[in-house]
Every structure is written in structure tokens, then in C-alpha cells.
Amino acid sequence: MSAGSLSSNPAVTSAGSVAAPPETLRVRVNGKEVVVPRTMPDWQGRPAPTTMLQACEIAGVTVPHYCYHPKLPVAGNCRMCLVEYGTPALGPDRQPILNPDGTPRIVRSPRPAIACATPVSPGMEIYTDTPGVRAMRAGVLEFLLINHPLDCPICDQAGECKLQEYALDYGESRSRFVEAKVHKPKAVLLGPRIVFDAERCILCTRCIRFTRDIVGDDALGILNRGSYNTIATAPGRAFDNNYTLNTVDICPVGALTSRDFRFQMRVWFLKETKSICPSCGTGCNILIGSRQGRIYRYTPRPNDAVNSHWMCDYGRLNYKWIHRPDRLQKVLIQGQPSTWERAMLEMVQRLRQATPGTVAIVASARLSNEELWLLARLKQHFRALSDAVPREGEGDHLLLHPDRNPNSQGARLTGICYTEMGSVLPRILDQVQKGTVRTLLVFGEDMTRHGFEPDLLQKLDTLIVSDVLPNATTALAHYLLPGSAPAEKSGSFTNVQGRVQRFHAAIAPPGDARPEWEMLAELVEKVTGQRLPSHLPGLFDAMAAAVPAYRGLTWAGLGDLGVSVPV
Amino acid sequence: MPAEYRLILKHASEPGYTPDLACYLRHGGYETLRKGLTLAPKTLPDGRVLSAQEQIREEVLRSGLRGRGGAGFSCGMKWNFVDRKSGKPVYLICNADESEPGTFKDRQIIYRDPHQLLEGMILACFANDVHLAFIYIRGEFVEGARILERALEEARAHGFLGRNILGTGYDLEIYVHRGAGAYICGEETGLIESLEGKRPYPRIKPPYFPAVLGLYMCPTIVNNVETLCNIKHIVAMGGAEFARIGTPNNTGTRLVSLSGHVRRPGCYEIETGKVTLGELIFDPAFGGGLREGRQLQAIIPGGVSAKVFRAGERVTLRRRGLDGKETVEERDVLDLPYDFDTLIAAGSMSGSGAIIVVDDSVSMVEVLANISAFFAHESCGQCTPCREGSLWMAKILQRLAAGQGRRRDADDLLHIADNIPGGRTICAFGDACSWPVQSTVQKFKEQFVARGAEAEARRAAQRAASAASAAASTPGRAPVEATAQPPPVAIPSGS
């Protein structure tokens, strides 16, 4: 993960001609002139004097670093980003002294500066590629490696390790260090989810700053002095908040590892799929790391509009159910194994015979926008009652939202439920009890947990159920349709703030299971006779055209970071 | 004849002089404070009116007083940098964390004449509108802290401290804060962190210059004990008069801590620049020369972080005079006047005023191993080059001193030491731990190479012997290893 999204200000000019506007200034990076804003967002997003590192970023020059992180306060301790620089010489009149050719005379600073913390000034020249700078980087890298265990073959970070990357650029193939290395604690359980190897640690303090300044839990600190420095928790205290695993992501080396992920898979084998965390209404952007149909980890994907660079431990670890052995994998008709063709044929027949007012739909707000919209089409067709089921939990101050449905807003905007989710459920129950509703479609919820007794469900003419895991309702289904986890399908969610965000299939669903949008598109087409696109982007665009809240959106236009709609 | 010039230690070494207030008052104590606090506003020829505070600051600037902690930065300039428009309180901290090895000057003041420090400090606080100040004293000065506490109590009881000092309406409180035993707490931003109750990691500059973002992110002045004592004398005699002591740009006196292989080690006060290094070491008024039969080998002129001089070294002084002309002059190291500028021009520094004399009875390898062990122990470990480099150098030197060295160790040490200083680290500790290595290895390289060569030769001989005995005990097997060894290296005789 390299430094933030600064791409909005690339103002690279040719050799200086017009004066820079007052809110900007001109600097040169390795001879190339760039115009940079005087201030740029600091780690909290507040304007702060633009730093050398940000200016280099704008110039397209990468400055290597370990301790700097765009979303953490600057520490300046790794010294990897040291650069050389010069400033225009000023005469006694405070005016720049010019060279014979009219260019300002530059005085090179005798001392280097850390690019992460040093503000730029007008006319400054930054040099990142001189022999001196390369020697400093090589020096820092050598220092970092002398006491490092060099255990890449058994280190989980291998493949995404900044020490490895910079060693390739600035390292030596042989070490001249012949002394005994400093030995420090290994495999320390800092908390229930974090394992710490102090020997690999380069003491960049990213983890300390993250938990202190982002989470507000001052749980980590440093013991001892000098080369013996060791990260630790306070005696008797565990590093245990809902965000601890982010320290594994931001640890530039293999010092902090996830107890869940360590030793499970080499990272270079992982396929990374852009997705959305489905564990609450925040909709943190994530990457799903998978290999050969198996998910190994979720990691946060930076999105300043939603989750910055972080995600919570609860959401991150909430993926194991996807590989549960009791996943629904077979299409069942009256409990007997069948095929999609057969089930589709029979369901279409039954639904065509259903009269308006006798059908009700319960759709989970864990379904995608497209799936909810398809169910809303059926609702319209049958003038059916419909609702979703609220799912509440405890929220926290950072990312975890009390609404544990990932797509409550989608259910509202597509018309599946009212603002107060679940308010129609009693009416559906009542009409089932009265026998008015004879056909019930249940997508992703267990109705027996919401007042629909098994006896009652058995009295229905038709009970169509789709889910991913078995429950009391799936056991009673006339037609049981095995569905997909969000990681197994593509689609979009609308988060609690109204951000419409895409997710993509990382792995295939097990057995005969299919993405719900696929079966629903087929069902809706056959029941209503309306033609529908057979691929997801087309389906999204059709939905956007039909649903007022989504008007103007396109699948392609959502991009990787999503688009906000008013809610 | 060079002689001591006692300004700060004037009374301290008099027989019968005690650190209590009564004794201090008998010697004219706190008269200067009264004078400073009651200075009448002065109207300048251009019509500007200078308040008492501004007058004191002017006098300090005029005096040319330079910080006595080690860096030798102009005290008046430091005060001028203070952000007085921030609306935040200004704090003053007395840096009494005297811990540069070889330095024992501030403790003379603290233990023997604490009220002189308080008087200077109160004046400095008054001049900078400070109402809350701290004395950060090194943890090892247990008795010193008690003495200061007692002195503060006495000063408070007599109206020199607290509310409405001497009836002038000026309020000031001073607290003593004891360190917990870390050299890095003497670095001003590390000190501030420590005072805030945190790990004393020095702060990055920019943006955390103490004059703007210091203690609790407020403008803060950090001055050394000796510096603050000088404030009292500047107010008493006036800046111009003070500037007549010493030499231009090196004004006032300096407390010199003379230690090592001299007959009369001790703390001497001299006029800055009026006494040479040679006089300090050999003159009967100061060090009194070396012990019988010993030869001078090296001089560490300003605490162990200063670059070492080799006896007999010819030093080229390149100096730019006040008229802007550059002069080049060659001198023997013993003929260098002891002041700030000369020693910097000579490639070292007067630092904290600690002169450590090394005679020929010790090996410079062991001297440096000792120094490096200190720095490896005291590195705070915040930034990479110093954290890893200081221990690496110490380990190499320890190995070399223990007879396990190699000839290449000298060059490795120089290369490692080159990767630490000069702005590569957050604070000056990086310079402090690498300068002695750079200078000692460079100037005494033959000793380092010889140590390594000796050890290499011994190991080669051992290998040859063990290979020969192995060959003798297993007949029929060619003594491959023994013949593969290079011939023993001639051992250069160590000094």
C-alpha cells in the first residue's frame, strides 16, 4: 500500500513560464518542475503545509519509507525518506540571487531532510536520486537488516514486505555484520488476534500510533532502549480492541501477524478481489484474498469516503461461514434433490397461477441492490406485501455500525421495505395466518425466528426459500434454492450513508448454488414476461433507470470507490 | 600567566560558603533580581520605549552569551525565536540533566550555590514573561534535587518566588523534576517529552522547535544551568561589560571540567578563549601536567561526543573574521585557545566544557570501546541509524578490544560511523555517537589495525596448530588445511 490518493493534484508543468497561483508554489523534483498546493491534507484530512514527500508524489517520484503513513501522525523515525534539497539563495534585499542564465541560484543544504515531515518552500529543489541519497537509503537499510532475523522463508510478510522490496533496490547481497544479533521475544501474543515477533520489528511505531491516535486505545508502547527496544502492551493488558488487525496491514514488515491468517497461505498465491465487507451497514471497502476457491483473508481497501484505510476485526474475520460444510448446495423440491430446470419450471407454473394479493415476499437486506430490485419487480407484479428484517448490534465510534445489514438502504430504495424496516412483517404474518397469503418467497431469512411458526409455514400453498445456510425455514421449503455469499457473486450494496458500492465475485459458489440475481432474473423474466439483461452490469443499469434514487448511475460509473446518493 | 577567572564560582569555593539563603544574601544575593525586576522603562533615541523585560533581553543579546550546554548557540537569539504572539503561556526549563561523560560543572553550582541558579533563572523567566518554570535535574543528582527543593522553599519564603515577587506584581513558580537516568533527556525535546511524562524520544524539527511548539505544545525556552547563572551576571554588570570578559563572540567565562590523566583534575573557571588547551593540561594553575613518565596521547576537548585530538596534531584553522575575511592558520593542538569558535574551526568542539586527557598508558581502542558502549546504552532507539549503528559499533569495538578483531574492522567502523551523523538522525545523538568513532579511528588507525592484525595472526596460528595436530593423529590424511593457510602475518608491535 503506497501513500494515499494524491492523484487529484497532478499539475506538472513544462519549464516555468507563468507565475504559480498564490495558493500554490513551484518546486523542482529531480529537475522536473511541479506546481503543488501550499497546503495539503494531513493525516486527519486537515490542511497542513505540503511536505516534500507529497510534492514528490505529485511529481510521480516515489520516496521509499517505512514509518510514514498518510493516515497516521508523522513520526519521522525510519529515516528511509531522507532526501537532499536546495533552496533559492537570497540576497541582502531578500530577493533571489540569479545565475547568469537568469535561473535562481540554488544553495544546497549541507544536511539531508526527511521528506515525510519537511514542508516545501517556493523554488525548493528536491533531489531523490543522487549518490548521496542512495547511500543514505542503503545505510538505513543495512542498519535495519543487521539485527533482523532474515527469516523470509518462514515469514508471512514475505511477498508484501517493505524490507524485501527496498532490499532489492538498495540492499547488498552479502552482510558484513559478524556480531551476535540482538535477540528479542518471538511469537508473543499481544492480544487474542495478534502475534508479534520483536526481532522482525523495525520500530516504525505505526502500530502504536494507529491504536493510540486512530482507535483511541493507547495499548501499545516501547520497552527498553536503543537496539533492545521492543513493542509491548502494558503489563497484564491485552491488545484487544475491534481494530487490532489493522496493525498487521500497516506493519511494513512481518513483525505483526494475524493469528487467523499466519501460516495459512503465501501471499503471492492469493488472488485479490475488490469487494465490500457485508458485516454491517458501513460497507468497508475490502480485498478478498482467495486461492483455488478458498478465502484466506479480508484486508481493507482504502476509501476516504467510507473507511479510510481500515476495517474492524469483527468484519474481517466474519468469513468462515462461507466454507461451512453444511452450506446449501442442492436444489430441493419438497425436500428431494432436483435440478434448477425442474424447480424453475414448477415455480414459474405455480407463480403464474397465483393471483395478486396472495403473494408475499421477505427479502434479506443482505442481498444486493440488483437482487432486491428483482424481488421488487415480483412484488409489483403480484401487488405483494414485502419487507426485510432489521438486524441490529452494538456499534462503535469508528467503523462498526449498529445496522448489521450491509444493504438496508438498498432494501428501502428499491421499495422492498419502508424506512422502518420490519414494519410490514406483522401484516404478512397476519395475512398468512388468515390464509389470504398463499405463496411466500423468503430470500435469506429464517422466518421461524420472526413469529412464523413452522406449523404456519407448512399451511402455505407455496413456500419458495433461498439461502446459503440451512435453518428451520429452509427445512420447510417447497422449493429450496441454494444461494451465494457476497464473496461468491458480484453486485452492489448501498451503505447507511447512501454510498452505492460494487463488489465482485472472488470464488465460485459451492455445488449447484447460484448467485441470487441470476436465478431471480430468470424467474422474473419467466413469470412477468419482461426481458431482462442476463449480465450484472446490464442489470444494474436497468435498475438505475427504473429506481429514482439510482437514476443516472451506471455500473461502470460506480468505479472502485462507489458513488453517493441522497438517502 | 594563565589563571582562573571566577565569576560563577566566585563564592562557591570560598571556605565557609554554604548553599543556604542566608549565606547567599550575605554575599549580595538577590540584589540583582531586585534590580532587574524594577528596571524603569527606557526611552530610546528613536522614541521606542523598552520595558524592563525587553531591556534584559537586549542586554543578554548584547552580552553575546552562548549556551553552555554543548551546542553553544546564542542565548539572546534563542530567546528571540520564542513565539510571543501565540497567546499560549511561555515556559522555561532549566536543563540540569548534566550527563555528558566528563562533565561536572553544573553540579558545582547546584550543590554549592543553588540560589545563584535560581536568581538567574527568575530573571530569565521575568525577561520572557514566564510564570511557570521547571528545573529538570538528572535522576542521579539525588542530593542536588534536595538542595534545590530547599533553596526554592527558602526563596519562596523570602518573596523571591511565588506570587507578587518582591512586590512587583510578577508571579513565578518553579518546580524541580527529577529524571530517571537517561542521557537522552538532556536533549531539549527529549527532555520536554520526559517532562510531559512520556518516553524521552526527541521530537522532529521541523515542526517541533521548542521556541514555538515546546512543552505541552507551548513556546518553551530550554537553558543550561551555567547559562542561566550568567543571566544574573549580565543583568548585574550589563551586557557590554559582560562581553568584555573572554574574547569576541566567545564572551564570559567557562566552567571547564578537566579529567583524565592529569595531576590536578577538577572544575576550573576560565575566561573563554584566554587559556589554551595546553595551559589547561600542563599549567600548575590547572591540570598540572601528566603523571611521571607518561606521554600525552589524546585530548577529548568537549565531552566524549567531541571529536578527539591526537597529541602533536597540527590543526589548520580556517576562520572567517568579523570583517568577512578568511584566515588560514596552522597551530599545534595544545596552542588552541579554549573557546567555542576555535575548536569548531579545528574540527571538534568545546561542547559541555569537559576536557578528558588520555596519556599513553591506555589503548585508544579501549578508550573508544568504552565511549561507544556508553552511547549504545544511551541511544533511545527512536530512529534507525543511531539505534542500530551505535550498538553495532560498540560490538565491533568490544570484539576488537577483546582480541577477536580483524584488520578490516577499522574501515568498517569508519563506514558505519559515516552513515549516522549529519542530519541522518532526529537529534544530535547520532552525531555524538559517531564523531568519536570517526575521529579516533581516523587519527589512531594504526592501533585499530594492529589490534585486528594481532588477532588474525593468533587465530591463523591456532588453526595451523590444530590442523597439524589433527594430521599427526590421523596418519595417511594429508594436512590439507594446514597447508592451505596463509603464512603467519608479522605482528606489528602495539603502542
Are B226 and B109 in contact by the 8 Å Cβ rule? The answer is: yes
Grid cell, residue B50, equals 523598552
**Sign, Cα dihedral of B147, B151, B157, B158:** positive
Q: Angle CA(A309)–CA(A310)–CA(A313) in degrees, nearest 5?
A: 160
Instruction: Please give the share of chain B, as a percent, with pLDDT higher than 90.
Output: 92
Note the residue count of chain B: 495
Lookup result for grid cell 527529577: B178
The pLDDT of residue B450 is above 90: yes
Mean pLDDT, rounded, of chain A: 95
Q: Do domains B21-244 and B250-359 have the same CATH topology?
A: no
CATH code for the structural domain at B363-495: 1.20.1440.230
All residues of chain A having their beta carbon less than 8 Å from the beta carbon of residue B380 are 225-226
Query: Taking CB atoms and an 8 Å cut-off, how many pairs form between chains A and B?
Result: 99
The pLDDT of residue A4 is above 90: no
Between the alpha carbon of residue A327 and those of residues A444, A483, B416, the distances in Å are: 13, 9, 60
Please tell me the class of the A24-129 domain: alpha beta
* Min Cα–Cα distance to chain B from A271, Å: 34
The pLDDT of residue A474 is above 70: yes
- What is the spatial distance between Cα A512 and Cα A340, in angstroms, rounded to a whole number? 8
Yes or no, beta carbons of B381 and A202 under 8 Å apart: no
Residues 6 or more apart whose Cβ sits within 8 Å of residue B459: none
**Architecture in CATH of A331-535:** 3-Layer(aba) Sandwich (3.40)
Q: Does residue A229 belong to the interface with chain B, where contact is any CB pair within 8 Å? A: yes
- What is the spatial distance between Cα A362 and Cα A416, in angstroms, rounded to a whole number? 8
Domain borders along chain A are 24-129, 149-323, 331-535
The pLDDT of residue B29 is above 90: yes
Yes or no, beta carbons of A139 and B206 under 8 Å apart: no
Q: Does residue A227 belong to the interface with chain B, where contact is any CB pair within 8 Å? A: yes
Q: Does residue B380 belong to the interface with chain A, where contact is any CB pair within 8 Å? A: yes
pLDDT score at B170: 97
Nearest in space to A121 (alpha carbons), one of A86, A158, A72, A83: A86
**The CATH fold of domain B250-359:** Ubiquitin-like (UB roll) (3.10.20)
Nearest 10 degrees: CA dihedral of B17, B21, B26, B27? 60
In A373-425, where do the E strands start and end? 385-387
Q: Does residue B424 belong to the interface with chain A, where contact is any CB pair within 8 Å? A: yes
Yes or no, beta carbons of B380 and A118 under 8 Å apart: no
* Min Cα–Cα distance to chain A from B396, Å: 7
pLDDT score at A20: 56
The pLDDT tens digits for B378-410 are 999 999 999 999 999 999 999 999 999 999 999
* Min Cα–Cα distance to chain A from B456, Å: 15
pLDDT score at B337: 97
Which residue does chain B place closest to A227, by CA atoms?
B387
All residues of chain B having their beta carbon less than 8 Å from the beta carbon of residue A112 are 422-424
User: Residue A96 burial by CB count (10 A; 0-12/13-18/19+): exposed, middle or buried?
Assistant: middle
Nearest in space to B100 (alpha carbons), one of B303, B310, B300, B268: B303
User: Residue A150 burial by CB count (10 A; 0-12/13-18/19+): exposed, middle or buried?
Assistant: middle
Residues 6 or more apart whose Cβ sits within 8 Å of residue B473: none
- In the stretch 37-96 of chain A, residues with CB closer than 8 A to chain B read 74-80, 82
Question: Is the bond preceding B206 in cis, omega lying within 30 degrees of 0?
Answer: yes
Instruction: Find the largest Cα–Cα distance for chain A.
Output: 97
* Min Cα–Cα distance to chain A from B382, Å: 6
Task: Give chain B's radius of gyration (CA, Å).
Answer: 26
- What is the spatial distance between Cα B210 and Cα B79, in angstroms, rounded to a whole number? 11
DSSP label at residue A99: P
Are A438 and A461 in contact by the 8 Å Cβ rule? The answer is: yes
pLDDT score at A19: 56
Q: Does residue A175 belong to the interface with chain B, where contact is any CB pair within 8 Å? A: no
**Sign, Cα dihedral of A321, A323, A327, A330:** positive
Yes or no, beta carbons of B204 and A74 under 8 Å apart: yes
* Min Cα–Cα distance to chain B from A74, Å: 9
The pLDDT tens digits for A146-169 are 999 999 999 999 999 999 999 999
All residues of chain B having their beta carbon less than 8 Å from the beta carbon of residue A144 are 384, 388
Nearest 10 degrees: CA dihedral of A344, A349, A355, A361? -10
Yes or no, beta carbons of A112 and B422 under 8 Å apart: yes
* Min Cα–Cα distance to chain B from A99, Å: 23
pLDDT score at A6: 34
Yes or no, beta carbons of B384 and A79 under 8 Å apart: yes
Q: How far is CA B251 from the centre of its chain?
A: 18
Are A33 and A13 in contact by the 8 Å Cβ rule? The answer is: yes
Yes or no, beta carbons of A226 and B379 under 8 Å apart: yes
pLDDT score at B492: 43
Between the alpha carbon of residue B455 and those of residues B370, B405, B485, the distances in Å are: 20, 6, 15
AA identity, residue A469: L
pLDDT class for B88, splitting at 50, 70, 90? very high
The pLDDT of residue A11 is above 70: no
AA identity, residue A59: A
Grid cell, residue A516, equals 441470487
Q: Does residue B395 belong to the interface with chain A, where contact is any CB pair within 8 Å? A: yes
Residues 6 or more apart whose Cβ sits within 8 Å of residue B415: none
Instruction: Say which of B388, B423, B426 has its CB closest to residue A144.
Output: B388
Yes or no, beta carbons of A140 and B384 under 8 Å apart: yes
Which residue does chain A place closest to B420, by CA atoms?
A139
**Sign, Cα dihedral of B61, B65, B69, B70:** positive
* Min Cα–Cα distance to chain B from A201, Å: 12
Q: Does residue B199 belong to the interface with chain A, where contact is any CB pair within 8 Å? A: yes
pLDDT score at B475: 61
User: Residue A394 burial by CB count (10 A; 0-12/13-18/19+): exposed, middle or buried?
Assistant: exposed
AA identity, residue A43: W
Mean pLDDT, rounded, of chain B: 94
All residues of chain B having their beta carbon less than 8 Å from the beta carbon of residue A81 are none
Segment B124-129 mean pLDDT? 98
pLDDT score at B319: 79
Lookup result for grid cell 527496544: A229
pLDDT class for B477, splitting at 50, 70, 90? low
**The CATH fold of domain B21-244:** Rossmann fold (3.40.50)
Instruction: Please give the share of chain B, as a percent, with pLDDT higher than 70.
Output: 96
Yes or no, beta carbons of B376 and A79 under 8 Å apart: no
Looking at per-residue pLDDT, the higher value among A108 and B320 belongs to: A108
Please tell me the class of the A149-323 domain: alpha beta
**In this structure, how many other beta carbons lie within 10 angstroms of the beta carbon of residue A45?**
10
Are A133 and A127 in contact by the 8 Å Cβ rule? The answer is: yes
How does strand A24-29 pair with strand A32-37?
Answer: antiparallel
Which residue does chain B place closest to A115, by CA atoms?
B206
Nearest in space to B200 (alpha carbons), one of B216, B182, B221: B182
Domain borders along chain B are 21-244, 250-359, 363-495
Q: Does residue A176 belong to the interface with chain B, where contact is any CB pair within 8 Å? A: yes
* Min Cα–Cα distance to chain B from A309, Å: 25
Yes or no, beta carbons of B385 and A225 under 8 Å apart: no
Which residue does chain A place closest to B426, by CA atoms?
A77
Grid cell, residue B388, equals 542500530
Segment A110-138 mean pLDDT? 97
**So what's the ipTM on this one?**
0.92
Q: Does residue B74 belong to the interface with chain A, where contact is any CB pair within 8 Å? A: no
